[in-house]
Amino acid sequence: MSSVTPLTDLQAALETDRVRVSIRDLNFYYGETHALKDINIDYLDRKTTAMIGPSGCGKSTLLRVLNRMYDLYPGQRAEGEVMLGDQNIIAPGVDLNRLRRRIGMVFQKPTPFPKSIYENVVFGVRLHEKLSKAELDERVEWALTRAALWGEV
- The predicted-structure confidence for 56-113, as pLDDT tens digits, reads as follows 999 999 999 999 999 989 999 999 999 998 999 999 999 998 898 888 877 777 666 7
Q: Are residues 22 and 63 in the same domain?
A: yes
Q: Are residues 75 and 141 in the same domain?
A: no
Residue 1: which pLDDT band, with cuts at 50, 70 and 90? very low
Is-contact 43 19, C-beta < 8 A? Answer: yes
Parallel, antiparallel, or unpaired for β 33-44 and 76-84?
Answer: unpaired
Q: Are residues 18 and 71 in the same domain?
A: yes
In a domain? residue 39: yes
Query: What local confidence, expressed as pLDDT, does residue 128 receive?
Result: 84
Instruction: Region of 126 please: left (phi>0), alpha (psi -120 to 50) or beta.
Output: alpha
Q: What is the CATH classification number for the domain harbouring 77?
A: 3.40.50.300
Nearest CA among 92, 99, 45, 37 for reference residue 69: 99
In a domain? residue 108: no
In a domain? residue 141: yes
- Domain stop point among 92, 108, 134: 92
- DSSP secondary structure code for residue 144 in this structure: H
What does the DSSP assignment read for 12-73? Answer: HHHHHS-EEEEEEEEEEEETTEEEEEEEEEEEETT--------TTSSHHHHHHHHTTGGGGS
Q: Are residues 72 and 30 in the same domain?
A: yes
Indicate whether 54 pLDDT > 60: yes
In a domain? residue 103: no
In a domain? residue 78: yes
| Alpha carbon separation from 144 to 3, 118, 151 (Å, rounded) | 44, 9, 8
Is-contact 55 48, C-beta < 8 A? Answer: no
Domain around 38: 7-92
119: helix, strand or coil: helix
Q: Are residues 82 and 129 in the same domain?
A: no
What is the domain count for the chain? 2
Mean pLDDT on 108-132 = 83
In a domain? residue 109: no
Q: Are residues 121 and 87 in the same domain?
A: no
In a domain? residue 64: yes
Indicate whether 3 pLDDT > 60: no
